[in-house]
Amino acid sequence: MARGLSAVELFQWGKRGKELMGNKQNFGAGQKPEIEPSVFLTNLPGIVGFYPRGQVVIAALYRQQVEDLIDGKVEFDPTAHAGPMLIKDVASMENNPDLVRAAADFLLDEGCTHADVFIIDESWGIEKDSTPITGWLREGGLHEVRLAGVATIAAGEVVTDEQGEIVGIVGDSLMTDNANLISRQGEQIFKNYEEYRSYFRGGQFRDSKDRALIERLRERATAVEQPRKLKIGSDNPALIEHFDMLKAAVENVADGVMDAHEAVRDETAGYAIAAALTNVTLRDMSMIFITTQLAQSMGEIWREAAIVHRGSLRANALACFAIAKFAAGLENYAQTALDEAAGEQPNHSLTQLLEIAVANQIVPRCVGTILGAAQEVLRRVYKVKMPRID
């Protein structure tokens, strides 16, 4: 990530459609392209997965084709013109001019010519109507920087600029396309950033007995690695046995026999899950569930496993969860899971592969390749006769 901006702070969204920008009819000949504040703020929780509170957002537009756009030579395309976004606590960003100038450098390198700054804080319009952030962005080389703010993101809240003029009304964030996608995938928009990050935090045990139970399952799962690693070919029967156990666990979660919390602690299901996060071949085989109706249940299991296991098991669970969310179009959840995986195990190969794909904007191709490889592994293990997975 360039110039010290972490992936947690920088959200590069993939679906940058008109829901982020406003109605494209606002972008006619002779007008400058701009982000419509109330539309942007309404959609923001569905983009990042939480309701920003006490935070500042820097959102930008690409320079490319702006002159032709203004002249009316090309039709406005939000996907082509919406740029990166930076979110951070108001106080920490206002006390760090170097970070803001670095953000300006990053935006310029990305081809962005101007940015909008949004303050989301209870003090906006009462105690606060300005910020040094806009000046630092201009000093960093951005040609145009606008400022607007709102007390909180909630339906009916008034958005005002630095002169106190009303520039829009926030809508219902839960009715946006991204929020609906999140809901369909069994996820939620969190009340704040802290709750969102705790969703991925490790070490979430009920008590010491719960921790000991997980450690026992983890120890049992080493059987797929020691005294030697299960491999395709000579170990196909054992791989099939373990995969069938995992499949049964995922189906039980899908059918409501048990939930993911119970599954990772169950003697049989929990062992199968831990084994699939210990042995790379089993891990790769498990990714086939992403292409099936069991994708949501498998994702729930990976997330639950990630918050109780540690080391390579946690990193594998987070990386698999990220792949599932990338495939589902939930880039924010996927990126956060990758950040957590990298923090758990910095040299984790699957995480590094995905990070390279993100940096080069080839995530769909990478995910497609991974899922194709999962199918090929299954074909070789089952010797063409594939298991039925609905």
Same domain, 158 and 217: no
Q: Which tokens in the block code for residue 2?
A: 């360039």
The per-residue pLDDT for 8 is 32
Give the Cα separation of 316 and 280 in Å (integer): 9
Per the domain annotation, does 388 fall within a domain? no
How many domains in the chain?
2
- Asked which of 198, 229, 257 is the last residue of a domain, the reply is 198
Same domain, 347 and 288: yes
Same domain, 138 and 220: no
Give the Cα separation of 342 and 388 in Å (integer): 34
Give the Cα separation of 42 and 50 in Å (integer): 12
Same domain, 341 and 244: yes
Same domain, 51 and 12: yes
Q: What are phi and psi of 13, to 5 degrees?
A: -80, 145
Q: Domain range spanning residue 258?
A: 208-381
Same domain, 118 and 157: yes
Same domain, 184 and 91: yes
- Asked which of 198, 218, 244 is the last residue of a domain, the reply is 198
Same domain, 133 and 232: no
Same domain, 183 and 300: no
Per the domain annotation, does 203 fall within a domain? no
Per the domain annotation, does 135 fall within a domain? yes
Residues of the chain with pLDDT under 70: 1-35, 62-83, 384-390
The per-residue pLDDT for 106 is 87
The per-residue pLDDT for 268 is 98
Give the Cα separation of 260 and 320 in Å (integer): 15
The per-residue pLDDT for 384 is 64
Same domain, 152 and 283: no
The per-residue pLDDT for 326 is 95
Per the domain annotation, does 387 fall within a domain? no
Per the domain annotation, does 46 fall within a domain? yes
The per-residue pLDDT for 2 is 33
